[in-house]
Structure 1
């Protein structure tokens, strides 16, 4: 049943919707990254190389995510979005739980492919719903709260995953962390109301001559010629390559380089990510909104500065011989990097037509996951295997460092380039 604007805007309820979608995003990331804390156990049981682990942790998940991402975004632009989120969440949670029944490399690969199938339908409708619950001037902070799920997900995956793995083994860890997502999907379906589509951007839609979804190729041409959209997507994709690299490889790196258990590493990383990531996400969104009052160019400028400052912290943290210093340098860079996500997501959503948001979000996610998950982890694993004879246990650290330097340098330049497009084509917010 459709709701009047005043019934779906303002007040507490829209924050309930935001929190539900943030929790959905949290389970999305948990189910992707719980394998990180389990890598050493899975590798030992199935006798796998770092290259195979990279394929399981990243590439396997990404294959169907890439194939289904854009169709899922198109579907989000024309169907009931909250139903789509609920069904996707239930599907990927079930497939994540089934990872615990894997018999070897290939069955685990198939289960990870299934996780990617479900998660392809999660983010596009979620960010589209949020854009219809929050006005443009508060969108960065709303997206910052939503993006906090990307921080809470690894916290749950690392802390709970490490403790559960020590207590029950890696198989039951997948099951215990996967099944609650099905319950959340049911609650979301029963309690979240579908908002009226594009109500904050009606004037922009009328100027374009359409309030209905255009044919696919028309939409793609519109997005391809949208300078803000293209540049933000590229910049944020390079930003997330090292973020995903650390998310997947930091735990096994600490286990290999320092005398710590899975449970200890999980608790350390969980505490670090929670302490730095949640305030970084939320405060970064508020700061970007505040600076953008002076000029919309401040959103990409802020992202460029934060990414540039992240680089030295993350480039040197894996060279430290102290666990405490490694974690301290990592958290400093992590706070800076995640603070850009609210601004980046809001720039994408505000730069496109209401009927393009789901497609735009899916293309953005596709680009991020192609580089960050599809290519990054496997490439790092391959470099680690090839450098092992020369550098021993440090080969994995050097592979991650090389990825950090190249990716964050590119991201900084691309965000500065985005500011020029914003100057010429101001974001509607």
Structure 2
């Protein structure tokens, strides 16, 4: 495993600044996900008005993932090259906020797809840059939890919990288009806060020559990188398929009213919010590998409950809470393990690879395939797809090499 010792470890700022950095980046990514999840949770309102099929819903979700992936590749690499991560982060935040307004004025499938493609392009670079900043500024022994908080806390508290509850209530009162206008405002505020409160992180040493640079192919030769990419493809497909179809399934197939459905879906946000501390923090203590193996198998509980559990909405939400804990490992395979497996000079490159591959293969292909299967075989087909994705991801995780600093020090 390559480590920061392979290059010159960048000087880190005070603990207080590290807390402010992680908090603001987590809040910003939460606003990103609030915008991204808005269409999923509002789809019961949007689908009838625009006459969308399940296949078209899947194409919209996959299209956003496609441009998100391209941006993750390109902007992650660009931030390594230019070394000006804060400016790129602020520009991306402003751009995705404007795309939320475009979604609100879409009047057809084509216009809605175009607005979401633009939003994906704007949002895709946010997380690679954020994780690269955390990797540079936060102490290694707290890196797992910091990355978990940066990626999961705000995104799930705002995007997965508050978005269903707030946006559905707002749409019922003022219409779904107004809800998208509401979703675009916080990002503009966040961009200005980041610009004035955060400093440009110290750039890691640049490669001395071409032989010292890391290409995408070089990164994929690292065992942990390609395993993280493979797991990411499967689990991002699991994630995006869930959000694309589960709200519709609960409302149309299971017969829950929109308000009850919004609270059941909101449970996913509470689960992932807690997981942002618990799962990543546990991996700092017991190691990344055991957590990465266990959580995908636990995730199978969610689609099984949606298929077969006929108890109360509260009990169903409790099972969803447990199953959705798998989101707690997303920062591990997207950021923590890749950044612990290569030199600090290549962090944004491998983070862009990990996140971009997950989105372009899992996020892009998963929803259209699941939507087509739903149209062909019934609305519950996507749940069986989710079960298969989770099981295979858990099996692949058994090939990981441990990278948690505490476990590596004990081993050596």
> 1: distance between equivalents of 2:107 and 2:215?
43
**Pairing 1:295-306 to 2, within 5 Å after superposition:** 298-306=287-295
1:254 to 246, 250, 255: 250
Give the structure 1 partner of residue 171 of structure 2: 165
TM-score when scaled to structure 1?
0.86
Give the structure 2 partner of residue 243 of structure 1: 239
**Pairing 1:304-383 to 2, within 5 Å after superposition:** 304-322=293-311, 323-335=313-325, 337-344=326-333, 345-383=335-373
> 2: distance between equivalents of 1:376 and 1:146?
25
Contact 1:313 1:333 in 2 (8 A): yes
Contact 1:9 1:133 in 2 (8 A): yes
Contact 2:66 2:359 in 1 (8 A): no
Give the structure 2 partner of residue 110 of structure 1: 114
> 2: distance between equivalents of 1:67 and 1:216?
24
> 2: distance between equivalents of 1:213 and 1:318?
56
2:272 to 266, 270, 277: 277
Query: What is the CA-CA distance between 1:114 and the residue it aligns to?
Result: 0.8
Contact 1:77 1:213 in 2 (8 A): no
Contact 1:213 1:356 in 2 (8 A): no
> 2: distance between equivalents of 1:213 and 1:166?
59
| Deviation larger for 273-282 or 99-108 | 273-282
State the SS of the aligned residue for 1:340. Answer: helix
* 1:289 is aligned to 2:284: yes
Q: 1:154 to 1:49 in 2, by over 3 A?
A: same
**Pairing 1:79-228 to 2, within 5 Å after superposition:** 79-147=83-151, 148-152=153-157, 153-198=159-204, 211=207, 214=210, 218-228=214-224
State the SS of the aligned residue for 1:77. Answer: helix
Q: 1:66 to 1:346 in 2, by over 3 A?
A: closer
1:407 to 375, 389, 392: 389
State the SS of the aligned residue for 1:254. Answer: helix
Give the structure 2 partner of residue 45 of structure 1: 49
State the SS of the aligned residue for 2:181. Answer: helix
Contact 2:156 2:270 in 1 (8 A): no
Aligned length: 396
Query: What is the CA-CA distance between 1:240 and the residue it aligns to?
Result: 2.6
Contact 2:131 2:351 in 1 (8 A): yes
> 2: distance between equivalents of 1:269 and 1:102?
25
Q: 1:155 to 1:212 in 2, by over 3 A?
A: farther
Contact 2:340 2:403 in 1 (8 A): no
Contact 2:84 2:200 in 1 (8 A): yes
Give the structure 1 partner of residue 65 of structure 2: 62
Give the structure 2 partner of residue 201 of structure 1: none
State the SS of the aligned residue for 1:194. Answer: coil
Q: Deviations over 1:78-113 (max 9, x none)?
A: 231111111101101111121111121111111111
Query: What is the CA-CA distance between 1:355 and the residue it aligns to?
Result: 2.2
Give the structure 1 partner of residue 14 of structure 2: 10
> 2: distance between equivalents of 1:46 and 1:317?
27
Contact 1:239 1:407 in 2 (8 A): yes
Give the structure 1 partner of residue 5 of structure 2: none
State the SS of the aligned residue for 2:199. Answer: coil
| Deviation larger for 149-158 or 79-88 | 149-158
State the SS of the aligned residue for 2:400. Answer: helix
> 1: distance between equivalents of 2:14 and 2:233?
32
Give the structure 2 partner of residue 294 of structure 1: none
State the SS of the aligned residue for 2:300. Answer: helix
> 2: distance between equivalents of 1:237 and 1:214?
30
- Which residues of structure 1 form unaligned runs of 5+? 199-204, 292-297, 388-394
Question: What's the Cα RMSD here?
Answer: 2.6
Query: What is the CA-CA distance between 1:149 and the residue it aligns to?
Result: 2.8
Q: Deviations over 1:113-132 (max 9, x none)?
A: 11011012211111000001
Contact 1:233 1:348 in 2 (8 A): no
